[in-house]
Structure 1
Amino acid sequence: MPTVLIIDDNPAVATALDTLFSLHDIDTRTASTPEDGLAELERNPVDLVVQDMNFQADTTSGEEGVELFKSIRARHPDLPVILLTAWTHLEAAVDLVKAGAADYLAKPWDDRKLLAAVNNLIELSETRRELDRHRGQERRRRDTLLGDYELCGLVFADPATEAALTLATRVAASDLPVLITGPNGAGKEKFAQIVHANSQVRGGPFVALNCGALPSELIEAELFGAEAGAYTGATRAREGKFEAADGGTLFLDEIGTLPPAGQIKLLRVLETGRFERLGGNRERQVKVRVISATNADLPALIAEGRFREDLYYRLNAIEVRVPPLAQRPDDIVPIARHFLPSGKSLTDEAERALRQHAWPGNVRELRNTIQRAALLARDTVIEAADLGLPSSSTGALAAASNNADEPDRATIEAALERAGGVLAQAAHELGLSRQALYRRLERLGIRRE
């Protein structure tokens, strides 16, 4: 049950409040002096304080109530306080509300108004505690990631990035192939480096190949090597990426662009660890952890006959999805600060402009924007105008935020299940205020429990 501390030197008032709250399932504690009230708060935490403004019959200044409130505020800054005041103390009560008091009610009070104020403040306190617990859990998870794993200098603050990192570090110790998906510029290679750095082959080489950066006639030679004379211009034998990565990790970016012949050979290497160089007939054996990445829809390519289904399932033993930067907004400013040259800083307006931009080019675009602004800015402080962002660039992210305010039933129910029914945590995950989530639950007919 929620608990309210009543601090009032009038026994009749204390009894009336105790009876009123008890009838509405609110537990109470009472104290008749400011000193007793402060001592009670030290012994037993409560959800709310209802305090009188005057504790001396021969004075009407309300100074005792003012001092009591200041003491409570100093010792318990987040504890809501409702003031009960006579008309002679009204001005002092208004000043205290400006100083942080939750509300004030004149004596004699209206039971309905008092109960409404108390229930609203108790619910607010519960929400704050839930959010504090949620933030505490986030901090502990982040501390675990930072303390127990090598993150290769990755800068992050957003829960979406943290979730992807948690999965990447968990699967790193296995030898299963990992498929990293996400848009260009989101940091897929950085995640591949993190998987390698926390794997059993972290002492071996990390070799990267962008399959989309080479013509199809050369990709097989790059992957598997080639003997002299295997193709025009091959004047000497050369090893491929698989041989270079033996005992370590091979990262294949843009795997969706791999030509059919290369797909067949890659599938065989993944299954047996064996291959032949282009133009050769000697079978070679390697032990390589393969991590692949793509920004393409591989199931769609399979349906079109452009990517082998068996290869897809072989590569996709574990999928790690790196969200676009627009879906992890808490990362934007920390990453921007990371890219700032020493001695440079961002104004508040510049940081707001960064958060409002949609970042279609993701982290790569953000890095280029910061580096350009740092070069062109006339001062060490970078203004919003120095960023060179189009004035209309806020539209895409604003639209995404508006869409986030209208999640569907399945999304809400899944968030509630992950949050164990804790509405504040579910609202935080969905990017909604608690009130917005309540309204959505009512519109969709979803039971709160």
Structure 2
Amino acid sequence: MKARILVIDDNPDIAHALKVLFTINQLDCDHCLTPETGLSALDNSHYDLVIQDMNFTQDTTSGEEGITLFNEIRRRFADLPIILMTAWTHLETAVDLVKSGASDYISKPWDDDKLIITVNNLIELSELQQAHRKSALKHNRQQRELAQQYDLCGIRYQSDAMFNLLQITTQVAHADVSVLITGPNGAGKEKVAEIVQANSSCRQGPFIKVNVGALSPELMAAELFGAEAGSYTGITKRRIGRFELANNGTLFLDEIGNLSLDGQAKLLRVLETGEFERIGGSETIKVNVRIISATNADIKGAIAKGDFREDLYYRLNVIELPLLALNQRKADILPLAEHFLGEAFQLTEQACLTLKHYAWPGNIRELKNVMQRVSLLARDKVIDEKILALNVQLPESTTSSANTEELTAEDIQHAISDASGVISEAAKLLGLSRSALYRRMKKFEIVG
């Protein structure tokens, strides 16, 4: 199907010349003599690109009519490519409009070959933009459908990586198998565990959490399996362990990689038989508990060193849910930051860039702490990069547009990746307009 171009110009000779040029180059072209008829045509038919004059009245040379027409087209059709046709007297105005969102401008008389190249590039880039928009809409729709189908426990995210992880999480949640959540400290492993439990067959049962990595070997057995009164110094009444408390529910064992070898042996027995005895007791207690564990440790490396039992690892790791660090899913940073701040606060654009480029070694936990701090410091409810006080050097392309022509294909690919494929966000990271970014993507043959 041929692309359709609308020329809005009060000079029939110019319109005829353009129509012949476009027809020769396999492009359809319509012509309107006035801004009013041009806007009506746009309202009633689909066009892929507009070429508009900057002046429509013989005794007016200010270009104000062209500015008004451009602004109205942009208001009604925000993503429609617009090329401005200008005489030298309107060149400065045209340049200003390009900065405001016009795709390009051509001077009269124009170069036919250059105009055809420009038109074809803009049409192809517009098609790319529409494809990205459809992809983003599909992604957002999938996120909504997932939230409607499952209990996501209020998690805030935007990245593809997190969406993919949540898809797997909700799929395996109902199965009665052990789950191991891996990832760095503060990345949200406990939240993922909550989602598993909330969508499991034992969601109505208890959900018991214990950080086994923080327990000494002496306390581990009592904490997990309980103890009878008098079984050791200081205990005067029976202590119920976490396994018993979690019966017919879920037990979340955090930092499992730090468990001692003795603790690993005792844990393995319970996982194999579902049975244990309280310390100092002789009664065998049988429980039905779904195990979710988490670790930031390199378990396979620990197995190779003899610090972690391989048989226990395979008992715990029927399903592994790997959670990436926050700086590897940058699209999640702003939704989380806004969630922690609350609706009363506003992040400036420079603050958003700072948040996205900071390394976040402490992951979500650090982000939450930073947002709590700045919410106390921001008197006018506006959060800027100065209040954030994060040690981050923004790339030159985000602070100045002077070097945007020097951007490499790698720079653009990194920005698109950081923005999870959302071109408008990638353009902001690079300090470009969307149309400028699409032109560079075309130049480097990058398909987003």
**TM tier, smaller:** 0.7 to 0.9
1:249-328 matches, cutoff 5 A: 249-328=250-329
Q: CA deviation at 1:292?
A: 0.4
Counterpart-to-counterpart distance in 1, 2:180 and 2:72: 57
Structure-1 residue corresponding to 2:148 = 147
Counterpart-to-counterpart distance in 1, 2:203 and 2:282: 31
Structure-1 residue corresponding to 2:52 = 51
1:202-241 matches, cutoff 5 A: 202-228=203-229, 230-241=231-242
Comparing 195-204 and 295-304, the one that deviates more: 195-204
Tell me the matched-pair count: 421
Compared with structure 1, are the counterparts of its residues 146 and 53 closer, same or farther at alpha carbon in structure 2 (3 Å cutoff)?
Answer: same
> What amino acid sits opposite 1:177 in the alignment?
S
Greater RCO structure (CA 8 Å; 6+ sep): 2
Counterpart-to-counterpart distance in 2, 1:94 and 1:377: 38
Compared with structure 1, are the counterparts of its residues 356 and 90 closer, same or farther at alpha carbon in structure 2 (3 Å cutoff)?
Answer: closer
Compared with structure 1, are the counterparts of its residues 80 and 239 closer, same or farther at alpha carbon in structure 2 (3 Å cutoff)?
Answer: same
> What amino acid sits opposite 1:284 in the alignment?
I
Structure-2 residue corresponding to 1:445 = none
Q: TM-score, normalised by structure 1?
A: 0.77
Structure-2 residue corresponding to 1:175 = 176
| 2:126 pairs with 1:128 | no
Structure-1 residue corresponding to 2:115 = 114
Q: CA deviation at 1:300?
A: 0.8
Structure-2 residue corresponding to 1:29 = 29
Counterpart-to-counterpart distance in 1, 2:42 and 2:378: 53
Counterpart-to-counterpart distance in 2, 1:70 and 1:304: 68
Q: CA deviation at 1:258?
A: 1.9
Task: Work out which of the residue numbers 386, 392, 395 in structure 2 matches 1:394.
Answer: 392
> What amino acid sits opposite 1:394 in the alignment?
V
Counterpart-to-counterpart distance in 1, 2:69 and 2:381: 47
Structure-2 residue corresponding to 1:193 = 194
Deviations 1:167-188 (A, max 9, x none): 3223222222211111111221
Task: Say which SS state the counterpart of residue 217 (structure 1) adopts.
Answer: helix
Structure-2 residue corresponding to 1:104 = 105
Structure-2 residue corresponding to 1:331 = 332
Deviations 1:143-167 (A, max 9, x none): 2244333333333344433333333
Counterpart-to-counterpart distance in 2, 1:378 and 1:29: 56
Compared with structure 1, are the counterparts of its residues 41 and 436 closer, same or farther at alpha carbon in structure 2 (3 Å cutoff)?
Answer: closer
Q: TM-score, normalised by structure 2?
A: 0.78
Q: CA deviation at 1:50?
A: 2.1
Task: Say which SS state the counterpart of residue 169 (structure 2) adopts.
Answer: helix
Counterpart-to-counterpart distance in 2, 1:89 and 1:437: 29
Deviations 1:13-49 (A, max 9, x none): 4454344334444x31313433554333223322211
Q: CA deviation at 1:289?
A: 1.4
Q: CA deviation at 1:250?
A: 0.4
Q: Is the 8 A contact 2:249 2:290 kept in 1?
A: yes
Compared with structure 1, are the counterparts of its residues 234 and 372 closer, same or farther at alpha carbon in structure 2 (3 Å cutoff)?
Answer: same
Structure-1 residue corresponding to 2:366 = 365
Q: CA deviation at 1:213?
A: 0.8
> What amino acid sits opposite 1:221 in the alignment?
A
Compared with structure 1, are the counterparts of its residues 332 and 201 closer, same or farther at alpha carbon in structure 2 (3 Å cutoff)?
Answer: same
Q: Is the 8 A contact 1:54 1:63 kept in 2?
A: yes
> What amino acid sits opposite 1:28 in the alignment?
D
Q: CA deviation at 1:313?
A: 2.2
Identity among equivalent positions (%) equals 52
Q: Is the 8 A contact 1:9 1:31 kept in 2?
A: no
Unaligned runs of 5+ in 1: 443-447
Q: Is the 8 A contact 1:127 1:424 kept in 2?
A: no
Task: Say which SS state the counterpart of residue 207 (structure 1) adopts.
Answer: strand
Counterpart-to-counterpart distance in 2, 1:344 and 1:87: 46
Comparing 4-13 and 215-224, the one that deviates more: 4-13
Q: CA deviation at 1:307?
A: 1.5
1:346-385 matches, cutoff 5 A: 351-375=352-376, 384-385=385-386
Counterpart-to-counterpart distance in 2, 1:365 and 1:233: 38
Q: Is the 8 A contact 1:105 1:114 kept in 2?
A: yes
Compared with structure 1, are the counterparts of its residues 52 and 385 closer, same or farther at alpha carbon in structure 2 (3 Å cutoff)?
Answer: closer
Task: Say which SS state the counterpart of residue 200 (structure 1) adopts.
Answer: coil
Q: CA deviation at 1:204?
A: 1.0
Counterpart-to-counterpart distance in 2, 1:324 and 1:176: 25
Task: Say which SS state the counterpart of residue 394 (structure 1) adopts.
Answer: coil
Q: Is the 8 A contact 1:205 1:248 kept in 2?
A: yes
Counterpart-to-counterpart distance in 2, 1:71 and 1:377: 38
Compared with structure 1, are the counterparts of its residues 19 and 269 closer, same or farther at alpha carbon in structure 2 (3 Å cutoff)?
Answer: farther
Q: CA deviation at 1:348?
A: 5.7
Deviations 1:407-445 (A, max 9, x none): 9x9x9xxx9xxx9xxx988x97xx996677778879xxx
Q: Is the 8 A contact 2:333 2:356 kept in 1?
A: yes
> What amino acid sits opposite 2:75 in the alignment?
A
